[in-house]
Amino acid sequence: MKLTRLVPLVAAAALFAACSPTAGTALVVDGASYSESDIDRTVQGCADAMGVTPQDIVRPAVVQSLLLGGVFDRLADEYGHLSTETIDEVAAQGEFASMMQSQDCLPLIRASVKTSLLQQVDFEAVQTAARQADVQLNPRYGKWIPEDPALMDVSPSLSVPAGQ
């Protein structure tokens, strides 16, 4: 391959890499990092637990739940800390009970319980916590907009290749 063809390819690869927090990172929220491999493992574990294919699991929704679970953790001191055991007890009593056997699915289950609990918290407190959160979201999963009432635009960036 000629050097004149290689340079634009390297430049394009560098631009794609600059769009994400780090190569292979899906999400970082307040220091908790979730790699693409973590998301793959969670999706596969949940798909297995639900008896569906991994393609049936919406990856941006998984990342969104993990992100909002992190926002909930910011509010834990103000609204009362919930231990992992308490979160698991809540999950075991609800729609996630059958999925609790998959260790790989547990991060999503716990984040989903936290996300549902956010709905019971004062919206202004949630939005303040969202603004204060240190979030780095890979654009392939949407855009983090803490000043917007929806908090996220889950439309992926067109400049980032779509995931599975």
Sheet holding 25-29, edge to edge: 32-35, 25-29, 135-137
pLDDT at 154: 64
Q: How far is CA 154 from CA 98, 110, 140, 162, in A?
A: 27, 20, 9, 12
How far is residue 29's CA from residue 144's CA, in Å, rounded to a whole number?
11
What's the average pLDDT block by block, 10 residues per block, for the chain (164 residues)? Answer: 39 38 84 96 96 96 94 80 87 90 95 89 89 94 89 60 43
Q: Counting every residue, how long is the chain?
A: 164
pLDDT at 121: 84
Does the global pTM surpass 0.75? yes
How far is residue 10's CA from residue 58's CA, in Å, rounded to a whole number?
31
How far is residue 92's CA from residue 105's CA, in Å, rounded to a whole number?
13
Can you list the alpha helix ranges (DSSP code H) found in the chain? Answer: 3-18, 36-50, 59-79, 84-93, 106-118, 123-132
Find the largest Cα–Cα distance for the chain.
Answer: 62
pLDDT at 11: 34
How many Cβ atoms from other residues are within 10 Å of residue 163's Cβ? 16
